[in-house]
């Protein structure tokens, strides 16, 4: 579904990604692990068109997308939940969700189906649908960010640090949401510092170090032998 081939990305003169390659197959959860500052979030931003690679290719469902605008990638079926969530703090929960619902070709019946589905997955959002996004807790804002991406009915979601700063109860809820998306055959590329969570929910794992993918393996293999995790992450 998604193929990243030898991309190089810069911030100004700083060379961040050095030939990163990875792939995500339909319906699969792929974890991207690494210490802070190794280029994981930059990889997601490059895929999403927020930064343009200077070299390499990004292909989605057979179509090159490396210099495609982010809003066009969303229409193709790529959802993105950034590390800082980026909800509209002054808009209500419902208004935040409508930013993904109010698009061409979505009937009123389909809107209601999508809203009902999200409210079943996130009951707290149903309770607070008329509450301003900025007044939600950190975990609730994370749920809203994921729910807003789901409104686009994406084929793949790029999830950047979804459990960062959350209490264990909220982390467990995020784990359940990832499982739900997986069961519904939505592919996920997950950047996460929570190594046990990532190993639990992922099918395959890439490990990055200094802007380079150093290791790639099935998550099950890393769960049974964690020596590679210790080598690159020190945990």
Annotate the chain with three-state secondary structure: CEEEEEEEEEECCEEEEEEEEEEECCCCEEEEECCCCCCHHHHHHHHCCCCCCCEEEEEECCEECCCCCHHHHHHHCEEEECCCCCCCCCCEHHHHHHHHHCCCCCCHHHHHHHHHHHHHHCHHHHHCCCCEHHHCCHHHHHHHHHHHHHCCCCCEEEEECCCCCCCHHHHHHHHHHHHHHHHCCCEEEEECCCHHHHHHHCCEEEEEECCEEEEEEEHHHHHHCCHHHHHHHCC
- pLDDT for the residue 40: 96
> What does the pLDDT average to over 203-217?
96
> What does the pLDDT average to over 147-168?
91
Structure tokens at 11: 């911030």
Pairwise CA distance, residues 84 & 44, whole Å: 13
pLDDT > 90: percent of the chain: 67
Residue among 212, 210, 208, 203 at smallest CA distance from 228: 208
State how far the alpha carbon of 93 is from the alpha carbons of 49, 107, 210, in Å.
26, 20, 38
Phi and psi torsions of 109, nearest 5°? -60, -45
- Domain spans in the chain, listed from the N-terminal domain onward: 1-77+154-235, 86-153
Where does the pLDDT of residue 235 fall: very low under 50, low under 70, confident under 90, or very high at 90 and above? low
Where does the pLDDT of residue 15 fall: very low under 50, low under 70, confident under 90, or very high at 90 and above? very high
Pairwise CA distance, residues 1 & 23, whole Å: 8
Using the predicted structure, report yes or no on whether residue 153 has a pLDDT greater than 70: yes
- pLDDT for the residue 185: 92
- pLDDT for the residue 156: 97
Return the minimum-mean-pLDDT range out of 84-88, 146-150, 183-187, 206-210.
84-88
> What does the pLDDT average to over 198-212?
96
> What does the pLDDT average to over 55-76?
94
Mean pLDDT of the residues in the chain:
92
Where does the pLDDT of residue 117 fall: very low under 50, low under 70, confident under 90, or very high at 90 and above? confident
Where does the pLDDT of residue 20 fall: very low under 50, low under 70, confident under 90, or very high at 90 and above? very high
Using the predicted structure, report yes or no on whether residue 83 has a pLDDT greater than 80: yes
Highest mean pLDDT pick, 113-122, 158-167, 199-208: 199-208
- 8 A C-beta contact, residue 101 and residue 112: no
Using the predicted structure, report yes or no on whether residue 121 has a pLDDT greater than 90: no
Residue among 46, 128, 41 at smallest CA distance from 93: 128
Beta bridge partners of 132: 92
Counting beta carbons within 10 angstroms of the beta carbon of residue 88, is it exposed (0 to 12), middle (13 to 18) or buried (19 or more)? middle
Using the predicted structure, report yes or no on whether residue 128 has a pLDDT greater than 80: yes
Using the predicted structure, report yes or no on whether residue 104 has a pLDDT greater than 80: no
Structure tokens at 131: 């509450």
User: Domain 1-77+154-235 falls in which CATH fold?
Assistant: Rossmann fold (3.40.50)
Where does the pLDDT of residue 203 fall: very low under 50, low under 70, confident under 90, or very high at 90 and above? very high
């Amino acid at each position: 579904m998604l193929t990243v081939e030898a991309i190089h990305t810069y911030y100004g003169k700083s060379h961040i990604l050095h030939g990163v390659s990875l792939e995500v197959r339909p319906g699969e959860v792929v974890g991207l692990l690494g210490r802070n500052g190794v280029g994981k979030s930059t990889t997601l931003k490059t895929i999403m068109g927020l930064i343009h690679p200077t070299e390499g290719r990004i292909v989605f469902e057979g179509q090159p997308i490396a210099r495609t605008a982010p809003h066009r990638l969303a229409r193709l079926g790529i959802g993105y939940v950034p590390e800082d969530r980026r909800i509209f703090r002054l808009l209500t929960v419902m208004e935040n969700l409508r930013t993904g619902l109010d698009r061409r070709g979505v009937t009123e019946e389909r809107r209601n189906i999508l809203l009902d589905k999200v409210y079943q997955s996130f009951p707290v959002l149903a309770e607070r649908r008329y509450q301003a996004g900025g007044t939600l807790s950190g975990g609730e804002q994370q749920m809203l960010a994921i729910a807003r991406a789901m409104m686009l009915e994406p084929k793949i979601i790029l999830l950047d640090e979804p459990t960062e700063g959350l209490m264990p109860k909220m982390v467990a809820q995020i784990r359940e949401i990832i499982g739900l998306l997986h069961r519904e055959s939505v592919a996920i590329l997950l950047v996460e510092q929570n190594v046990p969570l990532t190993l639990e929910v992922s099918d395959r794992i890439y490990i990055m170090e200094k802007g380079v993918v150093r290791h790639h393996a099935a998550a099950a293999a890393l769960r049974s032998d964690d020596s590679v995790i210790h080598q690159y992450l020190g945990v």
